[in-house]
Amino acid sequence: MADAVSLWLVVLGSIGALYGVANFFRVLRYLALCLRQPRDLRRRYGSWAVITSPTSGLGRSMAVELARAGLNLVLVGRDPAKLHDVSEKIARCHGVQTKAVVFDLSLVSTAEGDEAMRRLRDAVEGLDVGVLVNNAGVAKPGALYFHEAEVESLMRIVRVNLQVLTEVTASVLPGMVERGRGAVVNVGSGSAVALPSFPLYSVYAATKRYVAAFSKGLYVEYKNKGIDVQCQAPFFVETNMASSVVKSSFYPQFVVTPDACARAAVRWIGHGPLCMPNLAHQVQWWFAGFVPGVINDAYRLAKNPQHRDMLRPSPAWFFLSLVLVGGVYAAAFSFRLLAYLALCLRRPSDLRCGYGAWAVVTGPTSGIGRSVALELARRGINLVLLDLDAANLQETSDMIKSRHAVKTKAVVFDLSLVGTPQGDEAMRRLRAAIDGLDVGVLVNNAGVWSSMAYLHEVDVEA
């Protein structure tokens, strides 16, 4: 028995030690980057940089740091007066050239947005653009449950944080490919990459997870073409995006200034697909790794931060701490496995009694959407089916009714037209179709898969 206990202590201690070694090397890498000579961005990538939202906060500080590194700047923002002020000040203080492109980024995919995107392409035409910083981001309306927020404010987050970043990258990247060098820096968020969830900011965090995944994919695609793509994911920075309530919930040492964040960010350009440039934020990331997801979820949802003093351990306590770390991770994995097995073995829940008598399913005429619709009908749930093909919708609806004797409604909706007058009309029909129904389940199954190609090879609209 004693031997078995000793073996488990050694195993758990080894797991904890491996985790500690991994983090030790992460700290060493950071220190090495801080101590060595900064990379010459102008020589390595090119003489011009494009930066979105450069008139305040982190964007302004990044613009100043890039100018200090000798890069000329194309500044993209919505306020002409502020753009002019920042442009003049940077040119005067750092002796670099600047161009200003007025672009209300929230209007992307509208006629005004398309015209502004054309002006951006014209502005960078013929320039040796070596660095692109996609800094623009929106977090408002802030901490709200999803159902409390205005849909338009949430869609603005999606447009600015996700769609603008994609379109601006698609506009600048082809020139980098042609020249065989460049760097793309996408500003993400530690709330998306270091934490398992960020409740009450769900749409914001989801867009920032897209930024991280998008950056990693482009990093793999373009690394051998001489282009470094990176997601920089800071935690809280002293900007207008972080409310005073949020900032007050952290130690002041963990809320960094835009200037400090920008200095570290410029040093990290070209060093891997994902980074958290500031040391204070890396410490937060490291500690976040020790917290099980369920505890983090409850902590974030309660908005009641708790802090513990870290004591320097003696050798015996150090070994026990490694055992504890290994034990926590082993226990977390075991509970996750048990939860999965319990879900597989227990009797399926009665969805109709638990949620409601109707379900809405998008894309139900083929593939997984069709299978999900059939499974819901098999469980006695009536269906509202959304798809663009009226004939396929009718066929699917008739087939489901004949097999499972449930009610169905079909709403013809070309989901690719969302945000257009035709899409608004279809959305009105959907609301009318579900009005008064006991809708208990919504399955957002619809999705689009484009053919495989490098980003610079595909049409932006696709």
Coil vs helix vs strand at 250? coil
Q: What are the phi and psi torsion angles at 429 (to 5°)? A: -65, -35
**Strands across the sheet with 227-232, in order?**
98-102, 72-77, 48-52, 129-134, 182-187, 227-232, 274-275
Write out the two tokens for 245: 């309530």
Rounded (10°) angle between helices 315-345 and 2-35: 100
Task: Return the biggest CA–CA distance within the chain.
Answer: 76
**Whether 58 contacts 31, CB under 8 Å:** no
Out of 30, 45, 201, 204, the active site residue is 204
CA end-to-end distance (rounded Å), the chain:
64
| Residue 328 · residue 296 · CB < 8 Å | no
**Positive or negative: CA dihedral 239, 133, 113, 425:** negative
Q: What is the enclosing helix (H) or strand (E) of 133?
A: strand 129-134
Is 135:50 a contact under the CB 8 Å cutoff?
Answer: no
Angle between helices 2-35 and 279-288 (to 10 degrees): 160
Q: Collapsing DSSP states into helix, strand and coil, what is residue 274? A: strand
Alpha-carbon span 117 to 286, nearest angstrom: 39
Give SS3 for 410: strand
DSSP H or E run through 216: helix 202-222
Q: How far apart are CA 413 and CA 350, in angstroms?
A: 29
Closest CA to 396 of 430, 379, 375, 373: 373
Site of tokens 């944080």: 161
Indicate if 204 belongs to the active site: yes
Exposure letters 144-156 (e unless 16+ CB within 10 A, then b): beeeebeeeebeb
**Encoded amino acid at 18, one letter:** L
Collapse the DSSP code of 184 into the 3-class scheme (helix H, G, I; strand E, B; otherwise coil) and give the result: strand
The catalytic residue positions are 204
